Amino acid sequence: MGVSTAFPRQPAKTPAISRSAGSGVASPAIAQQKTVKACQEEWQANKAANQANKITEKAYVAKCQAESAAAKPAVAPPAATPATTAAKPAAAKPKDARQAEYARERACGQDWKADKAAGKIPAGTKWPQYWSDCNKRKKAAGM
């Protein structure tokens, strides 16, 4: 019994070690993302303008962090992303309605993330509304 209790604990320690090793690799990406404090300081510096535009501190900080996180990865991956995205639909058309809906949902999810990171989503729009509109567009386009 002593051996069986040791095994569950060892795997729990191993991911922590690999996470700390992995975090050393991921540090440059994390280091480039603005901290909450840095975004809050920016908001405070422009507090009057932000309040005039009805931008809350919480919303500003979320947008600030999303933009800083999206800014660096957006430089390299976009070249690879369109190529893989374009290759998938060209390879095979979905066989039935479920697969087609799933493909549209995935495509709309990618559009949602890209539009949200670019700030193209109107204020107050939630995923269900975006999905409904996007699904209609994708169906009309023959997807």
Same domain assignment for residues 85 and 141: yes
Position 132 in a domain = yes
Co-location of 32 and 43 in the same domain: yes
Q: Across the chain, how many H-helices and E-strands are there?
A: 7, 0
Count of domains forming the chain: 2
Question: Is 54 in the same domain as 85?
Answer: no
pTM (2 d.p.): 0.36
pLDDT at 3: 52
- Asked if 55 and 105 sit in the same domain, the reply is no
In this structure, are 82 and 141 located in the same domain?
yes
**107 and 143 fall within a common domain:** yes
Which residue in this structure is represented by tokens 């090793």?
A: 21
pLDDT per position as a tens digit, 39-69? 889 889 988 888 888 888 898 888 888 887 7
Does residue 86 share a domain with residue 59? no
Q: Is 89 among the domain residues?
A: yes
Residue whose C-alpha is closest to residue 108's, from 134, 86, 140, 78: 134
Whether the Cβ atoms of residue 127 and residue 136 lie closer than 8 Å to each other: no
> 140 in a domain, yes or no?
yes
Q: Which amino acid is at 18?
A: S
User: Which of 49, 75, 101 represents a domain boundary (last residue)?
Assistant: 75
Please count the CA atoms within 13 angstroms of the CA of 14 that sit on its side-chain side: 6
**Within-domain flag for 6:** no
Same domain, 85 and 143: yes
Range of the domain at 116: 78-143
Which residue type does 25 have? V
Q: CA 17, CA 64: separation in Å to the nearest integer? A: 31
Q: Indicate the pLDDT class of residue 25, thresholds 50, 70 and 90.
A: very low
Contacts of 108 (CB under 8 A, 6+ apart): 130, 131, 134, 135, 138
Q: What pLDDT score was predicted for residue 27? A: 43
Domain shared by 65 and 82, yes or no: no
Q: Is 7 within a domain?
A: no
Residue 107 in this model has a pLDDT that exceeds 60: yes
